[in-house]
Chains A and B, each alone.
Chain A
Amino acid sequence: DAKTTQPTSMDCAEGRAANLPCNHSTISGNEYVYWYRQIHSQGPQYIIHGLKNNETNEMASLIITEDRKSSTLILPHATLRDTAVYYCIVRDLNAGNMLTFGGGTRLMVKP
């Protein structure tokens, strides 16, 4: 799977939008972009995934650039409970099923 690059940490004010960037410049045409988050001492939680179109669900929005070399996860109204490590993962569904985790972004939502 293609390697991703994320900032190590970010802060966000409670109630504001949290925009988490991810670079995946070597992504191939068959690879999807997945986002998970891990709250301390819990298993990762699935957030959203997409291939090339922007996606939105009840948790977040995923914006993928036209060249697909980067994406942004948007939490529209961050709450204190959104404090977690957010992982951006690129995955080829045809080549394998596992998820390879990088370092992720530690998001701290502050009151």
Chain B
Amino acid sequence: GAVVSQHPSWVICKSGTSVKIECRSLDFQATTMFWYRQFPKQSLMLMATSNEGSKATYEQGVEKDKFLINHASLTLSTLTVTSAHPEDSSFYICSARVGTGSTGNTIYFGEGSWLTVV
């Protein structure tokens, strides 16, 4: 399957600082990428949909000014957690869509990034 890579795999930051997480599609171009958050023992929750060259679409309850998403190229989307607080500590996962239309339209996920805010 297609490869989606995230960096860093884990990061520890101080409260009040900002952290950037990168999501790359390694062997395909992704016009659309998705960012999820997962707390321990819970399912994945969609945060936002990132479209190359345009503003991200955020899910209800997700602060766009706190979780900045940039999708500047067809292979890279970044999530920046601004002014991080301990409650932002979570597993952040990106995914990218391969293909278009109603066939060959599969979504692949990155390895995830663990964020711990201390």
Question: Which A residues form the contact surface with B (CB < 8 A)?
Answer: 30, 34, 36, 38, 41-46, 49, 87, 93-94, 97-104
Contacts and interface: CB of A to CB of B under 8 A. Distances in A.
Contacts, number: 55
A41 B44 contact: no
A101 B43 contact: yes
Interface residues of B, number: 27
Nearest to B104: A93
B88 interface: no
Given A46-B1, A46-B108, A49-B106, A97 B93 contact: no
Interface of B: 1, 4, 6, 32, 34, 36, 43-46, 49, 91, 93, 95, 97, 101-103, 105-112, 114
Looking at chain A's contact residues, is the secondary structure mostly helix, strand, loop, or mixed? loop
